[in-house]
Each structure stands twice: as structure tokens, then as C-alpha cells.
């Protein structure tokens, strides 16, 4: 499944739309230093919204980032993500609810 298809099917908020990459899996973490070791093409689910996160996500080439619990990134964060070609999405409820939803949609 691609990022834009996921956003439409799961009702995720889109903060930008720089590209539409294939989702190869999901990784959930709120620690930036933990993210730098993950594989390429994963959908990152997190509560962190700062610029530092984009710097780490770009390094490991994520397919997109979903901010849970209604978190919204600042304008400079969105601008950096646009430059990096990283899709930013939002989910109003908690991470566990989103994890269940992604699993039910076949993203594993």
C-alpha cells in the first residue's frame, strides 16, 4: 500500500503531499536516536514533531511519518519534510489504536 492510499482509507490528516511512496512496514518510536537504525521504506509512527525527527527519518529513508494523538508539526518542520520528500500525516487518537488499525488494513 502507498502512503496516499493509506491516508485516504484510514482517514489520516495530511500535512503535506511531497510524494507517494510504498509502505514496507511500520515502526513505532518516540526516540530519535532509536530511529536511525531502522530499515528503509517503513512508516514511522511517533509523538515527536520537531525538526530533529525529520533529520533522522530522512537518514533512514522512511516512507512517511504519522503523528499520533493529534500532534501537529510546526511550519518549519513541514518545510523540511517537503524538502526531504517525506509525507507527514496525522491521527487524532493514540498510538495503540493506530497500530491496530494499520494491522487490520494489512500493513504488517
Partner 1 sequence: MVNQRGGFLVVEGCFHCRNRISFFSEEPVPPVDDYREGDHFWSHLGSFQASKFDLRCEKCGAEVAIPDVMALLLCLKCNPDCGVYKAGNTPENRKAWVYVALCAHTSHAGGACVSNTGLEALNAYFNQDLHDPSKKILIVPCRLRPFVDTCEGVVLADVGLTDLY
Residues in contact with partner 1 by the rule CB under 8 A: 30-34, 36-37, 39-41, 47-48, 50-52, 54-56, 58-61, 69, 71, 84-85
| Nearest residue (CB) to partner 1, 11 versus 37 | 37
Task: List beta partners, residue 43.
Answer: 26, 64
Alpha helices by DSSP H, the chain:
3-10, 32-35, 51-59, 75-84, 95-104
| Nearest residue (CB) to partner 1, 61 versus 101 | 61
The strand order across the sheet containing 25-28 reads 13-14, 87-90, 64-67, 42-46, 25-28
| Nearest residue (CB) to partner 1, 14 versus 58 | 58
| Distance from C-alpha of 24 to C-alpha of 41, rounded to nearest angstrom | 5
**Minimum distance of partner 1 from residue 31's CB (angstroms):** 5
| DSSP label of 21 | P
**Minimum distance of partner 1 from residue 58's CB (angstroms):** 6
All three cell numbers of 30: 518516540
**Minimum distance of partner 1 from residue 89's CB (angstroms):** 18
**Minimum distance of partner 1 from residue 108's CB (angstroms):** 19
Amino acid at each position: 500500500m502507498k502512503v496516499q492510499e493509506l491516508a485516504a482509507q484510514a482517514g489520516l490528516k495530511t500535512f503535506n503531499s511531497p510524494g507517494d511512496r510504498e509502505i514496507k512496514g511500520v515502526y513505532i518510536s518516540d526516540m530519535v536516536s532509536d530511529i536511525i537504525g531502522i530499515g528503509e521504506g517503513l512508516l514511522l509512527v511517533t509523538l515527536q514533531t520537531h525538526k530533529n525527527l525529520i533529520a533522522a527519518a530522512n537518514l533512514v529513508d522512511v516512507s512517511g511519518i504519522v503523528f499520533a494523538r493529534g500532534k501537529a508539526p510546526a511550519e518549519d518542520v513541514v518545510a523540511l519534510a517537503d524538502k526531504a520528500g517525506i509525507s507527514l500525516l496525522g491521527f487524532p487518537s493514540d498510538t495503540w489504536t493506530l497500530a491496530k488499525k494499520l494491522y487490520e488494513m494489512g500493513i504488517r
